[in-house]
Amino acid sequence: MIGRLNHVAIAVPDLAAAAAVYRDTLGAKVSAPQDEPDNGVTVVFVELDNTKIELLHPLGENSPIEGFLKKNASGGIHHVCYEVEDILAARDQLKAKGARVLGDGEPKIGAHKKPVLFLHPKDFSGTLVELEQV
């Protein structure tokens, strides 16, 4: 059902500093910050040959990243994202197997402008999983 790893998302308390580490220290190609008001985040994409790193910073008062950073002040891995060909079919298969889909269970448009769903971390070894339709 799942395809390739699309990205690993890292919540960061200082977006400019985190982007500089990836760009200047590691030599990666780093995008400009992109506000995603519908998702409550500002995102920087770090492009790698085989995947992406998504640096997440809170945007607005209701950001889901704000709570994560309160518990993890220096930041950390927030979620992993896997690609799926058909997000509705993947959702239905997962729900039939007992996995919990977060929110109302309907796909939202993510930072890559594609449909996404999040799966409960307790069902996946403590890891928040995002599925993105390709």
Candidates 47, 54, 130, 132; catalytic one: 130
Is the backbone of residue 38 left (phi > 0), alpha (psi -120 to 50) or beta?
alpha
User: How many whole angstroms separate alpha carbon 128 and alpha carbon 66?
Assistant: 16
Go through the chain and tell me how many residues it has: 134
Q: Give yes or no for a contact between 6 and 81, defined as CB atoms under 8 angstroms apart.
A: yes
CA 85 to centroid of chain Cα atoms = 18
Task: Specify whether 130 is catalytic.
Answer: yes
Could you identify the residue written with the tokens 């977060």? Answer: 102
User: Which residues carry out catalysis?
Assistant: 130
